[in-house]
Amino acid sequence: MTFDLSGQVALVTGASGALGGVLTRRLVAAGARVAATGRDGERLLAALLDAGLEPSARLTAHAVDLVDAAAVEALVAEVVRRHGRLDHLFNVAGTFAAADSVEATPDELWARLWDANFRATLHACRAAAPVMKRQGAGTIVNVGARAALAGGAGVAAYSVSKTAVMRLTESLAAEGKRHGVRVNCVLPGTLDTPANHAAMPTAKPAGWIELDALVDVLLFLASPAARALHGAAIPVFGAG
């Protein structure tokens, strides 16, 4: 599936991860100007090179800790200063961890998943939404998870953090639609990534979601074809 984003400006969080790298590559191929972010600058640059990309006038790399709200505000301000606007925000950054049970989940793990999955998304949305409202246009696409729909054994902290992303998406959509800003999210199942293959070596990946297939959904939500969608949580479960 092809999309034309010529001249539009996109911010991608979590661009050093597998999904973020594929999304960044597709955005550049679609003609967008892209600000790609990652917490570790060296890892981010390596990931972009692995994806066949190099920083340029149309692709800039930014090392930022998304839990640092002031740093995220500064990043969005820099993107707007450089390009004059911000058309799309893709919140891809996040992480997964599990524990044996709720009582066996330490406070540190609750805090880490809350920061990586919810607060990172919150800070990026909070910085980008006012810019888009002033423009009278923009899209935000958040990456939630299938676990946002129901809790499961051992994944309470992860599920809670991703459910919060879904609720945040709905509130942002209700606030943004009268300003021309659309906010939606995807709820993917297991992604076909090297990390998941390594973590689950005995699993059968036949039904896992190809990264390009999920990116098709992300780009659709940012496109005019999804102009009627506000606050949607799109299940992307693959065939598994």
Residue 203 predicted with pLDDT over 80: no
* Domains of the chain from N-terminus onward: 9-236 (3.40.50.720)
Q: How far apart are the first and last CA of the chain?
A: 22
Sorting pLDDT into bands at 50, 70 and 90, what band is 211? very high
Report pLDDT for 64: 98
Which two tokens mark 126?
């909070």
**pLDDT (mean) for 167-191:** 96
Report pLDDT for 239: 78
Residue 199 predicted with pLDDT over 80: no
Q: What is the pLDDT of residues 58-94, one digit of tens each?
A: 999 999 999 999 999 999 999 999 999 999 999 999 9
SS3 112: helix
Q: What is the pLDDT of residues 216-229, one digit of tens each?
A: 999 999 999 999 99
Residue 138 predicted with pLDDT over 70: yes
Q: Tell me which residues are annotated as active site.
A: 158
Q: Which of 83, 39, 81, 40 is nearest to 59 (CA)?
A: 83
String of DSSP letters for 39-103 = SSHHHHHHHHHHTT----SSEEEEE--TT-HHHHHHHHHHHHHHHS---EEEE--------SSST
Report pLDDT for 197: 84
Query: Is the CB of residue 204 less than 8 Å from the CB of residue 210?
Result: no
Query: Is the CB of residue 31 less than 8 Å from the CB of residue 7?
Result: yes
| 12-16, 221-225, 235-239: least confidently modelled range | 235-239
Cα 87 versus chain centre, distance: 15
Sorting pLDDT into bands at 50, 70 and 90, what band is 207? confident
Report pLDDT for 240: 66
- At 59, give phi and psi (nearest 5°): -140, 110
Q: Which of 94, 65, 78 is nearest to 35 (CA)?
A: 78
What's the DSSP call for residue 191? B
